[in-house]
Structure formats: C-alpha cells, structure tokens
Amino acid sequence: MLNYIWFGMIVVGFVVGIMNGRIDEVTKAVIESSGKAIEISIGLLGVMCLWTGLMGIAEKSGLVELITKLARPILRFLFPKIPAKHPAIGAIVMNLVANFFGLGNAATPLGLKAMNELQKLNPRKDTATDEMSTFLVMNTSAIQLIPATVISIRAALGSANPTEIVGTVWVATVSSAIVGIIAVKTLGAIFRRGKQWKL
C-alpha cells in the first residue's frame, strides 16, 4: 500500500508542480527534504537512547512485571470469556504493558503470541472472535506512558517545551481507548443479534 502512496505523492507532486510553475521549488524540496530527514533522525537519537536506556532498567528491575501483575484483573474484566488460567491473558497483558512503556520491539512478538493463543479458543478458525477484536482495538488505541518519539521530534525541531504534550496525549489516548472498547462491545452485541436473525 505504501508503495502506491509514495509513488503517487511524488508523481502527483511533480505534475502539480509543473502545472503551477513551481518546478524549481519542487526540485529544491527534493534536496532539502532528504537532508532534513537525516537532521531530524540525528535529533531523535538522544531522547530515544535515553528512553530505551531507562526502559532497560525498568525491565531488569521487575517494574514491567509488577505493572503486568497489577493490570491482570482489569484485563480479566475486559475478556470475560477467556478461561482464568489460559496463557492468552498473560500474553495480552504483557503486550499491552510493553506498548504502554513504548517497548515496540518486545510488544509485537507478544501481540502475535496473544493472537495465536486467542485463535486456539476460536471455534471458527477463519473468523475473528469478540476477544480478538477487543484486543486489537486496545492495542491500536495505543495507551502510552511517554510518547518518546514525538517528544524527540519536538526537541529536534527546537520546541521550547517538548514534553508539554504528555498530558494531552494521555487524555486523548484514554478517551479513544474508552470509545474503542464501547464500540467493540456494542458492535459485538449487534453482530450477535444479527446472527440470530440469520443476517
């Protein structure tokens, strides 16, 4: 998909640029943007290193594990149909906690494991269960403790206060997670009723 979007943006850009008589600006943008991309990447390095370093300590000290334990009861409430001792719950909690701490590399394999565990509980193997949909929505609503990448970019671009968006991110992310969970539960109920009526 990105292949087409990338191609489309460049080609449309060149065509519109020629029509607008702005081809010189476009050419300048090609050169400038590639340089700017590297500048921003280098600006990213500092905060990203700081954050992954701190996360290393959080993992090693058992803090991540502790939060995982605390989050378990909430998760049991959201996934009532998963049996108590089933490994799916563990994988889901660990994935969400890894996302929460911004441990992207750890989160993806845990998420895949969670999906595979949920698939074992699935009576119809080609159809998504309510639990799978709930997990996906919770995952994509992305509850995140510190949006490290955004802070790094703001810092790299000379913001006077790069972390000022932490509070607003929390509010936005929590409200979208709540809306998402309500949407999943509502749509799930609608779909179940639809099945009764043989839709």
Partner 1 sequence: METIKIISSYALPAIILIILCIGLYKEVKVYDIFVESAKEGITTVIKIMPSLVGLMVAIGVFRASGALDLLIFALRPVTDFLGIPKEAVPLAMMRPISGSASLALISDIMKVHGPDSFVGRVVSTMMGSTETTFYTLALYFGAAGIKKIRYALAAAMIADFSSILASVWICTLVFGRS
Nearest CB to partner 1, comparing residues 83 and 105: 105
Shortest Å distance, C-beta 76 to partner 1: 20
Nearest CB to partner 1, comparing residues 87 and 144: 144
Shortest Å distance, C-beta 198 to partner 1: 16
Nearest CB to partner 1, comparing residues 72 and 136: 136
Contact 94, 110 (CB under 8 A): yes
Shortest Å distance, C-beta 105 to partner 1: 7
Among 53, 69, 74, 193, binds partner 1 (CB under 8 A): 53
Residues 22-51 that bind partner 1 (CB under 8 A): 22, 25-26, 28-30, 32-34, 36-38, 40-41, 44-45, 48-51
* Alpha-carbon span 194 to 131, nearest angstrom: 18
**Would you give the distance in Å from CA 7 to the centre of its chain?**
25
* Alpha-carbon span 100 to 147, nearest angstrom: 9
Residues 61-120 that bind partner 1 (CB under 8 A): 61-63, 104-105, 108, 111-112, 115-116, 118-119
The site for partner 1, by CB under 8 A, has a size of 104
- The residue length of the chain stands at 199
* Alpha-carbon span 153 to 101, nearest angstrom: 18
Nearest CB to partner 1, comparing residues 74 and 172: 172
DSSP tag of 198: T
Residue identified by tokens 């919770």 is: 138
The H or E element containing residue 109 is helix 104-120
Annotate each residue in 121-160 with x if it binds partner 1 (CB under 8 A) or - if it does not, as one string: ----xxxx---xx--xx-xxxx-xxxx-xxx-xx-xxxxx
Q: Which one of 70-78, 79-87, 187-195 is the stretch in contact with partner 1 (CB under 8 A)?
A: 187-195
Contact 91, 124 (CB under 8 A): no
* Alpha-carbon span 90 to 101, nearest angstrom: 17
